[in-house]
Amino acid sequence: MMFCPKCKSILMPKKVGVKSVYQCSCGYTSEVQGAVLKESGKKAESITVIDKDVQVMPVVEEKCKKCGHGKAYHWEVQTRSADEPATRFYKCVKCACTWRAYK
């Protein structure tokens, strides 16, 4: 591993034509002495983008305050100090209305 003498960043190996050099983001370049650079043949994997809202929370029997539907997603968050109970949140499966319950 080599470092740039100007800005002290890591020099990255790069092929320029048939010549191998170390190059820094500040613009400094240095010729590679006695080393052979090998480029990997791996291509970047494609990333699949999911544009759909996927819920992985448990569904419980809870009546929605807005639409009256009987099922809601459920999760808990510690919103206050540790010696007090956690706040329960619900999100309606049908209309996505979110509310909380303090118990």
- pLDDT tens digits, 1-37: 778 888 988 888 888 777 788 888 888 888 776 655 5
Annotated catalytic, 39?
A: no
* pLDDT per residue as tens digits for the range 72-94: 999 999 888 888 888 999 999 99
CATH class of 59-102: mainly beta
| Mean pLDDT of the 55-82 span | 90
CATH class of 1-38: mainly beta
103 pLDDT band, cuts 50/70/90, is low
> Under a CB-based contact definition with an 8 Å cutoff, are residues 55 and 63 in contact?
no
Annotated catalytic, 53?
A: no
What is the pLDDT, as a whole number, of residue 47?
Answer: 79
Give backbone dihedrals phi and psi of 98, rounded to 5 degrees, phi first: -115, 135
| Active-site residue identified among 39, 53, 61, 83 | 83
For the chain, residues classed under CATH 2.20.25.10 are: 59-102
What is the pLDDT, as a whole number, of residue 35?
Answer: 54
pTM above 0.85, yes or no: no
What is the pLDDT, as a whole number, of residue 21?
Answer: 85
